[in-house]
């Protein structure tokens, strides 16, 4: 059974569609792997094993009858706890919501199911997705399969840990400041944040007003992510910000990367510092694009650091979701989460306007950059995965970490700007932990980001190295 743990999702679906693999066998394999590894990793916080096996058996019967099981035929799916699956917990990782059950599937989950995926359970996330590590008072700490003392990142940390440990072949994520790319990087997975609106969100109980959160997949290979996106993109009436279908298949265009791209490389964005062994691995990854014949140029101009502007724009909605509960439930919220959420309680129009002016500066900067370049490369994160309980490193490359946003310095700018961005595995640090290279494309060009990711993956494949044996927590 272990030979199925790390097979690509597209290969597993192909085998199921052809009858070479039973969806029941795959589901049983995933359940066995979860039983073995989840007590240490705590990636899954709610399961539906009986229903998932029943759905797998029903799919097997349909295949025997000659029916089309869909492009994601029988793939066990992990769904991030911040997203709805009808009948399963929908708690936001927050104690005051501990009894919530979703009344519907999110649009993304509905489309994944319609394509043949089978929901196996919900994966852990920090409270309301408010941290780059995965820990909450309701479900506890999620750990990194490469080293359980370290975090898998956040906020899609449970999904990333499940993928990297071989529990499931695909999992959902959401990214408001790096929450797909951070955990994908820390666990050596592939993660892509599409352009805002490319994957519909909703249905909503409260319409959102900030345009920084994008849904996207965490997978083991680039083709898996392209297959996933093919079935979830396209406008939906419940999401007024959702974009029309791009009119292409991402899978079918993977091998069409244009020749001799103009690629910008920024090692710091002008304001970040990077752990030396992380930078060593990222530089080797950047050299792959030079080897492939592309024109890679290190750019000297510094980006405007939009960290405080991002925090201002992104935080208001979360406070609005919990404000009516604070009088009765204040002690039940995590202290760190609540402190962050309440910073925007007294947000004035003047401060919000100032944040949006910073954002406009960033958008205009990137407008000019992508007039000169086709892609932008950066490190995905400045450090390797840190302590699983959230104790952050005191310094980066010898300099004190005075602003915790600098731990995710390379991800949040592209939530503010809306550009698609992905992380590929660059290599391993001296401690044996994954490091990542971020690939950023022009707005609406997920196809180009996927093509570049795929070309890199062909030169430096990573799917042959995963933590098969999960170390015990010492």
- Look at residue 450 and tell me if it is in a domain: yes
Report the largest interatomic distance among the alpha carbons of the chain, rounded to a whole angstrom. Answer: 64
- Look at residue 323 and tell me if it is in a domain: no
pLDDT digits (tens, 9 = 90+) for 18-51: 999 999 999 999 999 999 999 999 999 999 999 9
Residues with Cβ within 8 Å of 349's Cβ and at least 6 positions away in sequence, in order, are none
By annotation, the residues acting in catalysis are 80, 155, 179
Identify whether the C-beta of residue 431 lies closer than 8 Å to the C-beta of residue 146. no
DSSP string covering 284-326: HHHHHHHHTT-EEEE--PPPP--HHHHHHHHHHHHHHHHGGGH
Q: How far is CA 359 from CA 212, 238, 366, 414, in A?
A: 11, 27, 11, 10
The least confident of 41-45, 125-129, 338-342 is 338-342
Confidence of residue 314 (pLDDT cuts 50, 70, 90): confident
Task: Using DSSP bridges, classify how beta strands 76-80 and 118-123 pair: parallel, antiparallel or unpaired.
Answer: parallel
Whether the bond between 155 and the residue before it is cis, its omega within 30 degrees of 0, is yes
DSSP string covering 79-136: EETTS--TTSB--TT-GGGTT-B-SS--HHHHHHHHTT-EEEEEE---GGG-SSS-EE
Q: Given a cut of 80, is residue 353 above it in pLDDT?
A: yes
Confidence of residue 1 (pLDDT cuts 50, 70, 90): low
The residue whose two tokens read 């406070």 is: 319
Identify whether the C-beta of residue 275 lies closer than 8 Å to the C-beta of residue 427. no
pLDDT digits (tens, 9 = 90+) for 52-92: 999 999 999 999 999 999 999 999 999 999 999 999 999 99
Q: Both tokens of residue 289? A: 């694009």
Residues with Cβ within 8 Å of 372's Cβ and at least 6 positions away in sequence, in order, are 262, 264
- Look at residue 11 and tell me if it is in a domain: yes
- Look at residue 338 and tell me if it is in a domain: no
The residue whose two tokens read 């204040």 is: 330
Q: Both tokens of residue 11? A: 């290969």
Whether the bond between 203 and the residue before it is cis, its omega within 30 degrees of 0, is yes
Identify whether the C-beta of residue 78 lies closer than 8 Å to the C-beta of residue 219. no
Q: Both tokens of residue 258? A: 């244009």
* Owning domain of residue 145: 2-308+348-459
Q: For residues 115-130, give the mean pLDDT.
A: 97
Percent of the chain topping pLDDT 70: 100
- The more confident residue out of 461 and 347 is 461
Residue 188's CATH number: 3.90.1300.10
Identify whether the C-beta of residue 272 lies closer than 8 Å to the C-beta of residue 406. yes
List alpha helices for 115-233, DSSP H.
157-164, 181-187, 222-232
The residue whose two tokens read 């693999």 is: 21
CA 161 to chain centre: 11
Identify whether the C-beta of residue 452 lies closer than 8 Å to the C-beta of residue 432. no
pLDDT at position 2, please? 80
List alpha helices for 343-465, DSSP H.
349-372, 413-417, 446-459
pLDDT digits (tens, 9 = 90+) for 210-250: 899 999 999 999 999 999 999 999 999 999 999 999 999 99
What mean pLDDT value characterizes the chain?
96
Q: Both tokens of residue 370? A: 């992508």
Print burial letters for 289-318: b (CB count within 10 Å at least 16), e (below 16).
Answer: beebebebeebeeebbbbbebbbbbbbbbb
At 456, is the secondary structure helix, strand, or coil? helix
- Look at residue 151 and tell me if it is in a domain: yes
Measured distance CA(458)–CA(257) in Å, rounded: 12
- Look at residue 360 and tell me if it is in a domain: yes
- Look at residue 469 and tell me if it is in a domain: no
Q: How many domains does one find in the chain?
A: 1
253 CB neighbour count, 10 Å cutoff: 17
| pTM summary value | 0.97
- Look at residue 357 and tell me if it is in a domain: yes
Identify whether the C-beta of residue 182 lies closer than 8 Å to the C-beta of residue 154. yes
Measured distance CA(59)–CA(64) in Å, rounded: 9
């Amino acid at each position: 059974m272990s030979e199925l743990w790390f097979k690509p999702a597209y290969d597993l679906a192909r085998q199921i569609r052809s009858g070479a693999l039973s969806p029941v066998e795959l589901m049983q394999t995933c359940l066995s792997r979860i039983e073995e590894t989840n007590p240490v990793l705590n990636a899954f916080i709610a399961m539906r094993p009986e229903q998932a096996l029943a759905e797998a058996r029903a799919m097997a019967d349909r295949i025997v009858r000659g029916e089309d099981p869909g492009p994601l035929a029988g793939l066990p799916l992990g769904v991030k706890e911040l997203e709805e699956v009808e009948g399963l917990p929908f708690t936001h990782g927050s104690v005051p919501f501990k009894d919530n059950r979703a009344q519907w599937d999110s649009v993304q989950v509905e489309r994944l199911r319609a394509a043949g995926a089978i929901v196996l359970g919900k994966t852990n996330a920090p409270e309301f997705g408010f941290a780059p590590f995965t820990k909450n008072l309701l479900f506890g700490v999620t750990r990194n399969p490469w080293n359980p003392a370290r975090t898998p990142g956040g906020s899609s940390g449970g999904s990333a840990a499940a993928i990297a440990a071989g529990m499931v072949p695909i999992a959902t994520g959401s990214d408001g400041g790096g929450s797909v790319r951070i955990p994908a990087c820390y666990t050596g997975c592939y993660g892509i944040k599409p352009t805002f609106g490319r994957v519909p969100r909703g249905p909503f109980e409260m319409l959102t007003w900030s345009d920084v959160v994008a849904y996207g997949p965490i997978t083991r290979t680039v083709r898996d992510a392209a297959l996933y996106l093919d079935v979830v993109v396209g406008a939906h009436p419940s999401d007024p910000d959702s974009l029309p279908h791009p009119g292409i298949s991402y899978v079918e265009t993977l091998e069409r990367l244009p020749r001799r791209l103009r690629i910008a490389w920024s090692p710091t964005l002008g304001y970040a510092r990077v752990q030396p062994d992380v930078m060593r691995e990222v530089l080797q990854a950047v050299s792959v694009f030079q080897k492939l014949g592309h024109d890679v140029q290190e750019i000297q101009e510094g980006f405007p650091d939009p960290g405080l502007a991002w925090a201002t724009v992104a935080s208001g909605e979360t406070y609005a979701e919990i404000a009516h509960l604070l009088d009765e439930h204040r002690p039940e919220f995590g202290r760190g989460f609540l402190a962050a959420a309440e910073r925007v309680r007294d947000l004035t129009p003047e401060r919000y306007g100032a944040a949006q002016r910073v954002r406009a500066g960033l958008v205009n900067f990137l407008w000019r950059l992508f007039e000169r370049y086709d892609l932008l490369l950066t490190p995905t994160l400045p450090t390797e995965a840190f302590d699983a309980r959230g104790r952050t490193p005191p310094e980066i490359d010898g300099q004190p970490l005075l602003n915790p946003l600098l731990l995710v310095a390379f991800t949040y700018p592209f939530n503010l700007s809306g550009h698609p961005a992905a992380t590929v595995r660059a290599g391993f640090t001296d401690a044996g932990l994954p490091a990542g290279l971020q690939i950023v494309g022009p707005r609406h060009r997920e196809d180009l980001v996927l093509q570049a990711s795929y070309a890199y993956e062909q030169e430096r494949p990573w799917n042959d190295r995963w933590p098969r044996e999960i170390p015990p927590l010492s």
